[in-house]
Chains A and B, each alone.
Chain A
Amino acid sequence: MDEFEDKEIAKLLRLKRYEQPPPGYFENFLHEFHRRQRDELLCQPLWRICLDRVHDFMFRLNLSTLTSSPVAAAAVLICAAVISLKIYQTPGPARVATEDRQVFTGPANADVEWTLASPVTTRVFSTRPLHNSDETARTQRAATLPRYVLDSVPVSYETTFKF
């Protein structure tokens, strides 16, 4: 039979056992393995190191119910979800207040809106949300004329000299 038989193939393939790495490779392999492990540790983020430490601690405590990491992770997630719900749950009125809070808005065009009145009297308060502030300011300006208040009494409209 001309063809290679199975036994012949097997015999040839067995010779491949002797294809070996360079001398000293196996002796150095462990050192290389340790070096890579150290490098990996140095590259790990802090949270990962903490997680590993916690995992080690749990494992050493031999808590049979928590040794399974999926169970522990699920428990932690549920706790975190419950706590976050409690913390962020706020009463209703507070929410209304935040939506309808009064927003201070300055004059639409500060250069044009000069007034002689004291700053307190010229401030415009809007009870609408911020996005309507320009519109409010415009309607108020149209409805009321600008007031000019003089702080001091005028010298006089009467003649000062009587003859």
Chain B
Amino acid sequence: MNKPRTDEDQALVSRTQAGDAAAFDELVVKYTPRLYGLVYNMTSNHEDTNDLLQDVFSKAYKAIRGFRGKSSFYTWIHSIAVNMTLNFLKKRGRRFQLSLDDVDASVQNDKEFLEATATSSPVREADLSELQRRLNEAMMKLSDEHRAVVTMFHIQGMPHAEISKILRVSEGTVRSRLFYANRQLQSYLDEFRKNPVA
């Protein structure tokens, strides 16, 4: 995923700081889909994601006057979202309901998705669907911090440096978390490969 232009964001941030609420609305519209993906893949629940996103933007609006531009708005708003989600997950504990099964209709036009599914037989399609389900389950078995890194790197397509800024950890820590999370996901999915249909 491409990073939005920071100079555009800076202009909107300055306008918001000057009291222009419409400028903040533009930031909300711009960042909602991106942050939705981040929070949704960390919580695996639509309702929780919705509530968290509302809280994230509400907190950002209250705190934006204190935003001095030391980091980009992109990094800043992602930091708020990740920290609030991690706090939420700590409070929620293990009580959650998976709702990660809504694949958008636009996926039909995606090259990657077509590659993965077009040549497949019905059996393979069933396997793929099962594999996705297993993948979601495997994701939820990761710790919150590891899931955050996997979400940002693999799903959101962020570089290591950006993730390290958002999480305020070193790039080495990001790489090591990613390595560990990949090994865990591999072992979970390997069981499925050996026994495709339970």
A interface residues (Cβ-Cβ under 8 A, vs B): 2-4, 6, 9-22, 25-26, 29-30, 32-33, 36-37, 40, 55-56, 59-60
Contact = CB atoms under 8 A, between A and B. Distances in A.
Contact of B190 (A2, A10, A37): A2
Nearest to B1: A17
Contacts of B61: 37
B19 A60 contact: yes
A13 B110 CA distance: 14
Contacts of B65: 55, 59
Interface of B: 1, 17, 19, 25, 28-29, 32-33, 36-37, 40-41, 46, 49-50, 53-54, 57-58, 61, 65, 100-104, 106-107, 110, 112-113, 116, 131-132, 135-136, 150, 154-155, 157, 182, 185-186, 189-190, 193-194
B193 A13 contact: no
Contacts of A40: 58
Contacts of B50: 21, 25, 32
- Main secondary structure on B side of the interface with A: helix
Contacts of B33: 26
Task: Identify the 10 closest CB pairs spanning chains A and B, nearest first.
Answer: A20-B104, A13-B154, A18-B107, A4-B186, A18-B103, A18-B104, A4-B189, A16-B155, A10-B154, A29-B32
A30 B33 CA distance: 12
Contacts of A26: 29, 32-33, 36
Nearest to A13: B154
19 contacts: A2-B194, A9-B182, A13-B135, A15-B107, A15-B132, A16-B132, A17-B37, A17-B155, A19-B100, A21-B36, A22-B102, A25-B50, A26-B32, A26-B33, A26-B36, A30-B29, A32-B54, A56-B19, A59-B65
